[in-house]
Amino acid sequence: MEIARHWRLRHERLQMVGEICRNEGCEKKIFPPRDICPYCNQPANIEQKFSGRGTVYSYTVVVDNPPAGFEKYVPYVVALIDLEEGPRVTAQLTDLETRWVPKMIDGEEREVMEYELKI
């Protein structure tokens, strides 16, 4: 992502700011913000700050072949989160508890790190 676009989008990304559709009867909460509601095709420009709290819908642990620039962060967890307010977002999860568990790899038992995380 180019620098100019990154700075334009920092408010919504760092502060979890989206929008609410202003069409009566729809009033869906939208993240990231859009000019037009994807549900009813009407203007959606009432600012909504989301709590950032939600439930893990699904997740994966990135270990092999991370995107360029993220090699030094592996392993890391990327999840789909259903926010309390409604929208589903993609986020990297941090500060997760871990544990070491035995696992058979190529016919050999090894200790591997596992994240304490559930859907």
Strand partners, 22: none
- Nearest CA to 50 out of 1, 86, 95 is that of 86
- Give the integer Cα–Cα distance in Å for 78 and 95: 13
Query: For 110-116, what is the mean pLDDT?
Result: 88
pTM above 0.85, yes or no: no
Query: For 10-17, what is the mean pLDDT?
Result: 68
- 49-97 pLDDT, tens digit per residue, is 888 899 999 999 998 898 898 889 888 999 999 999 999 999 899 889 9
List of residues 6+ apart from 68 with CB closer than 8 A: none
